[in-house]
A and B are shown apart, each in its own frame.
Chain A
């Protein structure tokens, strides 16, 4: 479904509609008659004409109210502006006085791979990136250990290694329960509740605790009086206060508090549960009308009431291959294979508690069975129940300006594609829909930030490479049964699309602006999975209860009293240390020896099926991290070889019988491997002299370019501009 968003589209449509009307044969007569009628009514001298109904009243009042408020504020702003400027001048003398550039624009293309970029540039497919390469810099950008987005982007913004910002993976391990928790933020409901019968009314505020430590470099800029617009940089939830505007990105939860739970409403009876990321909801069909619901957050007021639901109905029209939907007060029609616009979803829990979200409906089929996919319910940016921006009004501003947009950290529903709930086309439509919204936000930020920092991270590059690498790698197991002609160019198209975006950004900037395009890591094929827990089990480091040969999720059948090492998450390997883990057995004096033993055993591990090395490096955390939070890091970081990655089961703490297996999922490309194999990219409009730039260097480089002193705790070093580039 074509999404009619944005003023330009609207105004264009309105204009064309007016033009069409004026071109009809009787337009003039009708217009004249209308004018005469109006004049007659308006000139009739009766008191009643002073007012013509609430509609007119609202229109006039609202218009004048808007103008009145605007001018009142403008008057205030204008009158106080000199004083505020003077105050700022005195406090932050000459913020831009030592700056090399008036403005820095940093575009983050999550996962853009330097080898692919180089290949496409050589083929002449990326003319704008090639211009940057020729005029300024093109280089590989060393990533973090491990090469995972939340880790790398945290390092990007803080200029420090993970030991100082405390993010080592999407998930962190609770040493007491051996269960995972989200590494970036902790959300706790209100502490106090008033209990009345079956109701438990929360009293107080929801607490959101940022787990990422360190100070983003835009805070340093803000302290010096330099304004920043920061859009969708990962691990910026919860948003922190600084001088500028920020919209949080990766790690923002959905309304259920998860990292994205889609919903498949279906008339097909099935007890199957999705492995992750989704729920199946039945559709009840009666007299040609189908009724179902979208599950929302847990009921905050009624104890043990389960989740709050938003009901909807649809009427399939088989002949026209469409269905009419009624969701709350909204009515819309979807054809098969079509997405709705963002629909407001209100989840009423009773006692006046309502959660506000937005979601999109996708009609999969209507005959003989009916199936509707619903995106995870995103926090409504126009009515955020949790803060997703700084200031809070920034997300509202963007929602009012461009319409509702995806706010979920991982907004592109990769799980739905993995689970075959969405097909390739539906996934691409969703991903590019979100991408277009972010492009609009970027260009608005560019217009509004003529001085200072403007940075925006696009996830599209990451998600599409994850899901479509199988078409780039002819031998990929997930592509065996799929005709290659379906989407052979999807990644190439993606890079070209990003290149066109660069072109449009370049038109908006002048020589006083530094443009940097960076990625947090590159990409490689993910053809083979490795269950590290299985290897630990088979090699005597991990024991199972009652001599079982496999364990369920989250170490369900693991015997901790005999387990020395375990893994969860993507690259971390943990020792079960006495005094640190609740049921730890490894004596602290044996830790170093055990680390060395594991490093030796895993490094160079060969996949017997192919004879290829599955693990090319195992890194001892103490050697790669330093800082106050190293105690939270895994003990070893496992670097898989190209084509390999931790298996889906291993990530979830499951122990299987097999160590290596084919990856049959659509999620076919990855970067959670040996960080030395997946560097990111660095392009810049001005030439830097630096042989081995790293993502940790970006923060110090920007501070230096704005003439600020570098904080002593920074791990990165500032790059030097080539003399000609100054």
Chain B
């Protein structure tokens, strides 16, 4: 990413903008007893900051695409943990299209593999066109649950146990951008009455020095450190 930033940015202009910022900061110190100079320097710092951000914007446009795709993929693995065995979890199905109302919700059926059992009756939320099942797994593994509505069946993967499997929290119909960023499964068929099937996987906390944190923070810190190292090594102005 540092290399990409280096190639897509105006390195010379960024260098100048950064130097100017540093110069105005130094001016504040050098002429500290001359309030008009100090105030003028503050103004220049603000303008310089704007200019610097503007210069960083263009490479940001290039960098944002691969980095977003990369982070989406990382999030599949590190965003959530699989559901522990015997721990209850919720499977939510959202019905759309012509199938609306409580009666239609009654026609949606859930078919479970032997390793997953229903621990409570389904809850229908007609106002939201949703059915929620409370389930629990008895054995580690990746399983498919089958949902049938209006004579058409679709499946949704459920991961049980531990480890670092690729997890998809939701399976969607259509909604290209949403699928791009949130789902790791193929789209639901267009003619299916079911709009989405989601599982409430628990968020994964990564333990760092006894403090649990979301992977994004760790990535932020590590990429900053790596960035600092590589920008020096590669001689790239950031």
Contacts and interface: CB of A to CB of B under 8 A. Distances in A.
Interface of A: 7, 10, 14, 34, 38, 40-41, 44-63, 66-67, 69-71, 73-74, 77, 81, 84-85, 88, 227, 245, 329, 391, 393-394, 396-401, 403, 447-448, 450-451
8 smallest CB-CB distances across A and B, nearest first, come from A54-B227, A59-B56, A48-B71, A400-B23, A401-B23, A55-B5, A46-B181, A53-B67
11 contacts: A34-B61, A44-B178, A51-B219, A51-B220, A54-B1, A57-B223, A58-B238, A66-B25, A396-B22, A400-B23, A448-B37
B17 to A, nearest CB: 8
A117 B223 CA distance: 63
A34 B56 CA distance: 16
Given A55-B2, A397-B30, A401-B19, A48 B68 contact: yes
Contact of A74 (B38, B60, B64): B38
Nearest to B73: A48
A393 B30 contact: yes
Interface stretch (B45-53, B82-90, B130-138, B141-149): B45-53
A55 B234 CA distance: 14
Given A53-B67, A393-B29, A7 B20 contact: yes
A409 B207 CA distance: 58
Given A46-B182, A74-B28, A393-B26, A57 B224 contact: yes
Contact of A52 (B33, B48, B63, B177): B63
B226 interface: yes
Interface string B5-27: 10001000100101111111111
A401 B18 CA distance: 10
Contacts of A10: 13, 16
Contact of A59 (B35, B52, B71, B79): B52
A69 B61 CA distance: 28
A59 B13 contact: no
B75 A52 contact: no
A668 B49 CA distance: 51
Nearest to B14: A59
A10 B67 CA distance: 30
A479 B150 CA distance: 105
A41 B64 contact: yes
A245 B30 contact: yes
Contacts of B37: 447-448
A245 B31 CA distance: 9
The A interface is mostly helix, strand or loop, or mixed, namely: helix
Contacts of B77: none
A84 B33 contact: yes
B16 to A, nearest CB: 5
A285 B52 CA distance: 42
A62 B30 contact: no
A59 B53 contact: yes
B182 A67 contact: no
Contacts of B182: 46
B75 to A, nearest CB: 5
A66 B48 contact: yes
A67 B45 contact: yes
A535 B49 CA distance: 67
A201 to B, nearest CB: 25
B14 to A, nearest CB: 9
Contacts of B64: 41, 52-53, 56
B60 A66 contact: no
A60 B63 CA distance: 14
The listed residue with most B CB atoms (<10 A of its CB), out of A63, A84, A403, is A63
Contacts of A69: 25
B13 to A, nearest CB: 7
Nearest to A40: B177
Contacts of A60: 53
B118 to A, nearest CB: 30
A49 B177 CA distance: 13
A68 to B, nearest CB: 10
B42 A74 contact: yes
Given A38-B61, A70-B45, A397-B23, A81 B35 contact: yes
A84 B34 CA distance: 11
Contacts of B72: 46, 48
B20 A55 contact: no
Contact of B30 (A47, A53, A394): A394
B235 A329 contact: yes
B31 A448 contact: yes
Interface in B168-214: 177-178, 180-182, 214
B226 A54 contact: yes
Contacts of A50: 216
B181 to A, nearest CB: 4
Given A38-B61, A54-B226, A67 B238 contact: no
Nearest to A76: B32
Contacts of A54: 1-2, 5, 223-224, 226-227, 238
B35 to A, nearest CB: 7
Q: Which of A52, A67, A329, A391 has the most CB of B within 10 A?
A: A52
Nearest to B182: A46
B165 interface: no
Contacts of A70: 24-25, 28, 41-42, 45
A49 B61 contact: no
Contacts of A397: 23, 26-27, 30
B59 interface: yes
B36 interface: yes
A179 B78 CA distance: 74
Given A44-B181, A55-B2, A227-B33, 18 more contacts: A44-B180, A46-B72, A46-B181, A47-B79, A48-B75, A50-B216, A52-B67, A54-B1, A55-B59, A56-B64, A58-B56, A59-B238, A63-B52, A67-B45, A77-B32, A396-B22, A400-B19, A403-B16
Contacts of B226: 54
Contact of A448 (B27, B220, B227): B27
Contacts of A81: 33, 35
Contacts of B2: 54-55
Contact of A41 (B52, B68, B223): B68
Interface string B218-238: 011001101100010001001
A81 B182 CA distance: 54
A69 B49 CA distance: 12
A393 B31 CA distance: 12
Contacts of B79: 47
Nearest to B35: A81
A88 B33 contact: yes
A394 B26 CA distance: 8
A55 B30 contact: no
A203 B30 CA distance: 31
B44 to A, nearest CB: 9
A67 B47 CA distance: 10
Nearest to A74: B42
Contacts of B67: 52-53
A656 B22 CA distance: 56
A108 B220 CA distance: 54
B227 A55 contact: yes
A49 B68 contact: yes
B32 A7 contact: no
A80 to B, nearest CB: 9
Contact of A227 (B4, B34, B219): B34
B63 A56 contact: yes
B230 to A, nearest CB: 8
Nearest to B66: A53
B13 A14 contact: yes
A312 to B, nearest CB: 15
Nearest to B41: A70
Contacts of A73: 25, 28-29
A52 B227 CA distance: 13
B179 to A, nearest CB: 11
B68 A57 contact: no
A450 B227 CA distance: 43
Which among A45, A81, A397, A403 has the highest number of chain B CB atoms within 10 Å? Answer: A397
Given A55-B227, A70-B28, A227-B33, A46 B19 contact: no
